[in-house]
Every structure is written in structure tokens, then in C-alpha cells.
Amino acid sequence: MNRKLKIGDVFYLKIRDQESYVFGRVLFDVKKQYQKTVNVNNLPSDYFPYLKMFYSDCQLVEMYDGIYDNIDDFNDQKIIIPRVLTQAIDSKRNVLEWGIVANHKVDYTKIEFPENLNLSGNVRFLDRGELSLRTNIKENESENMNYKSNMCVPLTVANASLDFQGRRDLIPEDIRRPSYLKDNDLYYNPELRNRIFADLAIDPDKSYYELSKEIGYDLERFY
């Protein structure tokens, strides 16, 4: 059966080698929303549209608390991973069993994107959704900073959900990573994040929707 996820779909992922499931929701689809709306050829020449260059086949998802033995038992929507960009859950690259259980409308004013530090022309840019902001991070200082764009796959997202819930024992040892997501999103390093935002004279508590709209990239146009 040909299944395609829609924005707002709540999905399950079956844990590898286990009879248990984790759940999440699709918040944004780069190919279906961004790629069909934005003409990247008209963007400024010094602008690095990483949604085009790096995450073109990805979906932004959130993941929920809970590990369930039965799909029908899912009833908790406490968010444990608020944002991660992954290769599409409904793509052939997803090696895990998955399915759709519900659809809950997405409030685009509350969507957040991962915050990455990417190097371009010896300059570190803070990339966040459509935004690419030049930072003042020195070249020698940036050598010890990861947080660069890193594409996940659904298997990694499922394992990250286990890791965030203290259940690394459910992740097969041969694919278990030292950590998940926290080295690839500035959100998980508040001290460095606050310093960078202070240098940019940006309120770190300002939502992505507010900030992007001020700069001229209104997320509403995708919904």
C-alpha cells in the first residue's frame, strides 16, 4: 500500500529487534512545503539555503515520551524531542516498520528548527530553518565546535527517543552511539547558544516564527 505522511500526522516507529514502539508527529516537510514554495535561484548569492542544500528530502518531526508494547496504547503527547530533521519517515530509506495513528493540526507559530553552526568561507553561520546568520565566532575557536548540519534517519530518531528516556538498553549494541542529537543542535548547549545570540543581538527566547518573520521569512506561507 502506498502511504504518504501529511503535515500533522502522528506516526509510530517500531523499535529494531523489539516488539515495542515510539511515537512522533510530522511538523514540516522540506520537499512538499519548502521546495514547492521557494525559488532558491532568486535567493541572495551569499545566502546558504541549507533546507535546499542539505535537508531537501527531510521532514521536521517531534518525538513523544513513552515506549509502548501496543500501538493502540499510545495516549501521551508529552514532547521529549521538540525538533529533529530526518530523512522522510515515509521514504524507502526508512528501515523500520511505521504507521499513522492520528492527525493533529500543526501550529506553525510554535515550530522550532534545529540550530546548526556551519562553516562557509571561513565564517561560521548559525543556520536555523530558513535563516542563515553570520556569527562572530573566530576560526580557531570554531575548530572545537560541532553542531554542524547532520542528517538523521528514522532509525536514529527512534534510538534517540530511547536514549532520551534512559533506555539505551533497547538499542542494539552494534549500532548504539555515544550520544544522540545533543552534539548537532545548539539547543542542547544553552551556554554557547546564549553567547552566540548575545553577539547577534537576538533574544534567545524569541521564537523561530517571530524571528524569521522579522527578517522576512514568514513561516505561515508554507501552511
Contact 36, 77 (CB under 8 A): no
Q: How far apart are CA 187 and CA 114, in angstroms?
A: 7
Q: In degrees, to the nearest 5, what angle opens at C-alpha 53 toward C-alphas 98 and 40?
A: 115
| DSSP label of 2 | -
DSSP string across 198-214 = HHTT--TTS-HHHHHHH
Does the pLDDT of residue 166 top 80, yes or no? yes
Distance (Å) of CA 55 to CA 50, 84, 85, 123, 195: 7, 11, 7, 21, 26
Q: How far apart are CA 101 and CA 121, in angstroms?
A: 45
Residues 6+ apart with CB under 8 A from 136: 199
Amino acid present at 117: L
Residues 6+ apart with CB under 8 A from 144: none
Q: pLDDT tens-digit profile of 66-106? A: 999 999 999 878 999 999 999 999 998 899 999 999 999 99
Q: What does pLDDT average to over the chain? A: 89
Q: Which residue has the higher pLDDT, 172 or 141?
A: 172
Contact 60, 83 (CB under 8 A): yes
Place of cell 532558491: 40
Which residues are 60's β-sheet partners?
Answer: 28, 85
The cell for 89 is 519517515
pTM metric for this prediction: 0.92
Q: pLDDT tens-digit profile of 4-43? A: 999 999 999 999 989 999 999 999 999 899 877 886 666 6
Q: pLDDT tens-digit profile of 187-220? A: 999 999 999 999 999 999 999 999 999 998 899 9
Does the pLDDT of residue 143 top 60, yes or no? no
How crowded is residue 62: how many other Cβ atoms within 10 Å of its Cβ?
20
